[in-house]
Amino acid sequence: MSTNQSTLSQLIAALGLDTDNEWPHVVRERLVAYGLLGLYVFVIWFPIYFIFITSIKPSGAVLDIPISFLPTQPTVSNYVEIFQNRPFELYTLNSLIVASTTTIICVTLGTVTGYSFSRYDFVGNKALLLSIVGARMIPPIALIVPFFTIMSNPPLIGGLTGSLYDTRIALILTYTFFNLPFAVWIMKNYFDGVPESLDEQARIDGCSRWEGFVKIILPMAKPGIAATAILAFIFSWNEFVFALVLTSSEQAQTLPIAVSLFVADDFVDWAHLAAGGMIAALPGILFGLFFQQYIVSGLTQGAVKE
């Protein structure tokens, strides 16, 4: 009993709860809150941890029972082997090219378009914005056949370039289609939160509208741009279904497809799948951790008028 008491008070101290200055019920509520949050964090991170330790187990030890949750014989051989036995550098390159190009296109077009929707009062302004965002509400899976058909036989440029099937361009076009509406929407809301008197001050200071946008408004929009970029990048990096349908070889296949290839008809190569999964997950996690500060401010900017 007394040891339990002291463990509890140690825990309370470790969580920075001040029992001298807080009501007992506040301390209890905090403990419950910490408990729930801890559980949630565990649920979130456990699968990632499990993939990680699977990826550093020797192939033969993956299915051992009882499951070992701590690495006993850590090895990097799975990582080395996926690059030796499969073109993982190509998959990674494909993922990088597709995701970054999509991101650049979405940020560039989304920023300019969002600014126009925010500042210019043209005929059909609202209807057009709704239709752009509304188009994105269609479930992507409903569009998979049309996309496959179009990319296999591009109606206009087909005669010049041939089929876009199994090219990175097909993926870039598809991902841009899905992400640009969000980019426009986020940036429009972001610019709505930037007072128009700044545009006007820039005009009085001698800027054209374009100069004012580039020199004054755009530098202020960095959080919005970061939020847009991260959403577009992570979507493109993680996307699986369209990549599966629109590509068939390592010249365009991305990491999610590469990882799925470890699943054969009668056998799953868990150790290599886990190593591939870690490689696929890492950039997203790092990107997310690094930019998460911008996501919140970028998405909520303009929600509250000061």
Partner 1 sequence: MAHVELNELVKEFDDVTAVDGISLDIPDESFTVLVGPSGCGKTTTLRLIAGLERATDGEIRIGDEVVNDQRAYERDIAMVFQNYALYPHKTVRENMRFGLEQHDTAEDIIQDRVSEAAELLQIEELLERRPAELSGGQQQRVALGRAIVRDPAVFLMDEPLSNLDAKLRVQMRAELNKLHDELSTTTVYVTHDQVEAMTLADQIAVMDNGQIQQVGAPTHVYSNPQNMFVAGFLGSPSMNFLEGTLGRDADGKLQLDFGTDTHDVPAEFADELEGYVGERVVLGIRPENISLNQDGIAANVHPATVQVVEPQGEKTVLELDLDTDQTIKAAVDPDTTVEMDDKVNLRFDRDSLQYFDPQTGESLTYEAASEQKVTA
Binding site for partner 1 (CB under 8 A): 195, 197-198, 200-201, 203-207, 211, 216, 219-220
The angle formed by the CA atoms of residues 97, 103 and 108, to the nearest 5 degrees, is 125
The residue among 266 and 306 lying less far from partner 1, judged by its C-beta, is 306
Report the C-alpha gap between 42 and 54 in whole angstroms. 17
Report the C-alpha gap between 285 and 287 in whole angstroms. 6
The residue among 31 and 207 lying less far from partner 1, judged by its C-beta, is 207
Q: How far is the CB of 208 from partner 1 (least distance, A)?
A: 8
Q: How far is the CB of 304 from partner 1 (least distance, A)?
A: 15
The residue among 146 and 206 lying less far from partner 1, judged by its C-beta, is 206
Q: How far is the CB of 212 from partner 1 (least distance, A)?
A: 10
Q: How far is the CB of 205 from partner 1 (least distance, A)?
A: 4
Amino acid identity, position 85 = N
* φ/ψ bin of 19: left (φ > 0), alpha (ψ from -120 to 50), beta (otherwise): alpha
The residue among 29 and 196 lying less far from partner 1, judged by its C-beta, is 196
Report the C-alpha gap between 63 and 228 in whole angstroms. 41
Report the C-alpha gap between 70 and 73 in whole angstroms. 9
The residue among 9 and 201 lying less far from partner 1, judged by its C-beta, is 201
CB atoms within 10 A of CB 164: 22
The residue among 16 and 206 lying less far from partner 1, judged by its C-beta, is 206
Contact 20, 232 (CB under 8 A): no
Q: How far is the CB of 223 from partner 1 (least distance, A)?
A: 11
C-alpha 255 chain-centroid distance: 14
Residues in the chain: 306
Q: How far is the CB of 293 from partner 1 (least distance, A)?
A: 17
CB atoms within 10 A of CB 219: 9
* DSSP type of residue 165: T
Residue with tokens 């056998």: 267
* Nearest one of 264, 272, 279 to 78, comparing CA atoms: 272
Q: How far is the CB of 110 from partner 1 (least distance, A)?
A: 20
The residue among 66 and 219 lying less far from partner 1, judged by its C-beta, is 219
